[in-house]
Amino acid sequence: MRDLNKLALRLRKAARVRLFLDYDGTLAGFAETPDKIIPDPGLADLLSRFVDHTRFRVAVISGRRLSHIEKLLPIPGLLLAGTYGIELRTPAGDRINRLELAAVRPTLEQIKPLWENLVSNGKGFYLEDKGWSLAIHARFAQDDDAQTLLESARTLAGDMIDPRVYHLRDGHKFLEVAPILANKGQAVRYIQKHYPWPGAELVFVGDDDKDEDAFAVINDLGGTSIVVATPPRSTAATHRLESPPAVRAWLTGLLADTEV
């Protein structure tokens, strides 16, 4: 892993810096359930300072629904991307859906009652309906129970989805069926194409396997990728921060001596 202090010094001298940030596990700790919305005024204030700064632009790309991210970060001028970049709110406040909900929802409606039945028979599981995707969270389930249920859920959904349209994404005690377009790496490329900022240094900060897609793209674009992880883990990221508080402290440092 490379030196974050040297990186911060370089970014503080850069004419333009575009920050791509994950939310849960990166800017904030994990909520008890993914539908729990607890705004953090301190975080909102920090990101507002970046929005007001002429040298920075910020995009928050989350697996959460856009409506949740808007409530967590009610900041005008911030680019927000929900469901891994399928739904966006531009800095001007325009809303963009990169995929028609009607194109994917019928299959999800077939899978949902089957997954609901699985979850209802287990303990420590939570089914999240994001509109464009369905996710089973098993963070509070016993390891063996989680493995068994998620394998059953994978088999059920795998028999029902068109692999040209959907994919199944695993994580730690997690399974999600989502459109292939639900991909943070593709979201970064979309933002770079449709909202270009020539000459900007690119930085992506994220914590889990869904962020690895974005790390690869940022690296390919010549930017900087930062994983949030304790302890260190295998990753495509070039730098590491240990926790959300460490991320906030590092971001605060980027603003030092550069406020307008």
**Rounded to whole angstroms, how far apart are CA atoms 83 and 178?**
9
* Full domain range(s) for residue 235: 4-98+183-255
**pLDDT for residue 63:** 93
164: which residues sit within 8 A by CB, 6+ positions away? 180
- What percent of the chain shows pLDDT beyond 70? 97
Are 57 and 13 in a shared domain? yes
**pLDDT for residue 257:** 60
The whole-number average pLDDT for the span 145-164 is 95
For 86-120, the pLDDT digits (tens) are 999 999 999 999 999 999 999 999 999 999 999 99
Greater confidence (257 vs 254) lies with 254
Question: Using omega within 30 degrees of 0 as the cis cutoff, is the peptide bond preceding 245 cis?
Answer: no
State the Rg of the chain over Cα: 18
- The residue type of 126 is Y
**pLDDT for residue 1:** 58
Judge if pTM exceeds 0.85: yes
Are 171 and 213 in a shared domain? no
pLDDT at 40 over 60: yes
Are 50 and 114 in a shared domain? no
pLDDT at 251 over 50: yes
User: What is the number of structural domains in the chain?
Assistant: 2
Are 188 and 88 in a shared domain? yes
